[in-house]
Structure 1
Amino acid sequence: MKLLSVNVGRPRPNPWKGLSATGIDKRPVHGPVSVVVPGPKGTGTVGLVGDRVYDVKHHGGSDQAVYAYAREDLDGWQAELGRPLAGGAFGENLTTLGLDVNGALIGERWRIGPHVVLEVSCARIPCATFQGWLEREGWIKRFTQAALPGAYLRVIEPGEIRADDPVEIVHRPDHDVSVALSFRAMTLEPELLPRLLVADALPEESRELARRRTTT
């Protein structure tokens, strides 16, 4: 298991949400990238130095510090879309190889390289920017149906990472709530929401949604 690339965004116009810019255009970086604990949501800060988000209401902050997507899943989409998808094409910071990103458990921790430790926090929910960026009508629906969302991660131990760094799973929590399961619960299968309550590492807003479902 390793990183194929570490990707940092370049500001691009965002006509799909009416915002001044988007950071979805991620490009591989050659050399080390510093990973830091970002500020709170609403500031635009994320976990990779040199990157940021512009839709500060919905993105960024500690629970969405770093976004990872598997090269194997990109390859599947590449075949379906009929066009090449380079590392970073889905707006991911980390393009991984040999790691089951969607099967990762909420609260699972990864050591990347010698120092950095990240914790799986939640699934990526597709938005209008993602659909517009890929120039694919109906993309939000198709991506949701596939339930291959990729994972957001928190920064537990900061440091530096680079392409080809090994990835090691150093902790797996004692529950079965995976990234894919949490995504299905938050989108097309809300009947699964009560199952999320055992995942203490899930962001509080998601846990609150699950609690409301349990009590109604």
Structure 2
Amino acid sequence: MIATVLSVSSGPLAPVEGLRRPSGIRKHPVARIEVRDPGPKRGGLGSGVVGDAIYSRKHHGGDTQAVYAVAREELDRWGRDLGRELGNGMFGENLTTSGLDVDAAEVGEQWRVGTSLLEVCGPRVPCATFARHMGEPRWVKRFADLGRTGAYLAVREAGVIEVDDPIEVVHRPGHGLTVPMLFRAAMGDKDLAVVFLDAQVLPKVEHDWLASRQ
């Protein structure tokens, strides 16, 4: 099966029920997105998607969280569990993929998507905003327990991504250290954290963050 972009999404800041601050988590499918390196979390441009909003730049956005990808197959699996339909962009993702196991991606893997080059950097860590947006009991714990979070991507070459663009994995490091493994390390698996730190496979900002938690 050919991996493709099923949907591209972005969104403005909007209220989220139960939160005092607005959020950009409510993404809506669009025809195309332009992606670029937004620079660091603080002092940078926020999202790697032009026109996409991020409120809390302390925790979101920046060069290693420039674009967020989730597999349509993962949304469908959650939809069956929750008994509701989850539309493209429901998890706040910019790319909804088809035919690609996003959660099997290795850290450092690179994808050619449209005219851009994206690099897998790490997992999405669920937060209170995500929980409020979903409106599901114990959402953060349920999402974390499954550990299939989708992947944050850096933009190594700026470009344009459109619906139906193929996704080509052009580089796979071969170290076997996947996004779900990094999520477990981030959530407190110290043995896995040591593996990642010793392997020196993370972008510096993510390496330093993981090291600070040990």
TM-score of the pair, normalised by structure 1: 0.91
1:90 and 2:91 aligned: yes
Alignment of 1:1-216 (within 5 A): 1-14=3-16, 16=18, 18-19=20-21, 21-30=22-31, 32-42=32-42, 43=44, 45-113=46-114, 115-197=115-197, 200-208=200-208, 210-211=210-211
The question of whether the paired residues in 2 share the 8 Å contact of 1:16 and 1:128 is answered with no
Per the TM alignment, residue 166 of structure 1 is displaced from its structure 2 partner at its CA by 0.2
Per the TM alignment, residue 95 of structure 1 is displaced from its structure 2 partner at its CA by 0.1
- 1:198/1:109 Cα in 2 relative to 1: closer, same or farther (>3 Å)? farther
- Is there any run of 5+ residues in structure 2 with no aligned partner, and where? none
- Matched to 1:93, the amino acid is N
CA distance in 2, matches of 1:15, 1:190: 35
> Identical aligned pairs, as a percentage?
46
- Is there any run of 5+ residues in structure 1 with no aligned partner, and where? none
Per the TM alignment, residue 174 of structure 1 is displaced from its structure 2 partner at its CA by 3.2
- Matched to 1:94, the amino acid is L
**Cα shift readout 1:25-71 (whole Å, capped 9, x = no counterpart):** 011002x3211111321245211111021011100110100000000
The question of whether the paired residues in 2 share the 8 Å contact of 1:193 and 1:209 is answered with no
**Cα shift readout 1:142-165 (whole Å, capped 9, x = no counterpart):** 000001111000000111110100
- 1:137/1:163 Cα in 2 relative to 1: closer, same or farther (>3 Å)? same
CA distance in 2, matches of 1:199, 1:110: 21
Per the TM alignment, residue 201 of structure 1 is displaced from its structure 2 partner at its CA by 4.6
The question of whether the paired residues in 2 share the 8 Å contact of 1:107 and 1:200 is answered with no
After TM superposition, the structure 1 stretch with the greater mean CA deviation from structure 2, 62-71 or 168-177, is: 168-177
The question of whether the paired residues in 2 share the 8 Å contact of 1:70 and 1:99 is answered with yes
- Matched to 1:27, the amino acid is H
Per the TM alignment, residue 203 of structure 1 is displaced from its structure 2 partner at its CA by 3.7
CA distance in 2, matches of 1:204, 1:156: 15
The question of whether the paired residues in 1 share the 8 Å contact of 2:120 and 2:152 is answered with yes
TM-score of the pair, normalised by structure 2: 0.92
Per the TM alignment, residue 209 of structure 1 is displaced from its structure 2 partner at its CA by 5.2
Q: Which has the higher strand share?
A: 1
CA distance in 2, matches of 1:22, 1:211: 29
CA distance in 2, matches of 1:200, 1:118: 19
Q: Secondary structure of 1:118's match?
A: strand
The question of whether the paired residues in 1 share the 8 Å contact of 2:9 and 2:33 is answered with no
- 1:55/1:15 Cα in 2 relative to 1: closer, same or farther (>3 Å)? farther
- 1:103/1:199 Cα in 2 relative to 1: closer, same or farther (>3 Å)? farther
CA distance in 2, matches of 1:99, 1:149: 14
The question of whether the paired residues in 1 share the 8 Å contact of 2:17 and 2:133 is answered with no
CA distance in 2, matches of 1:2, 1:121: 20
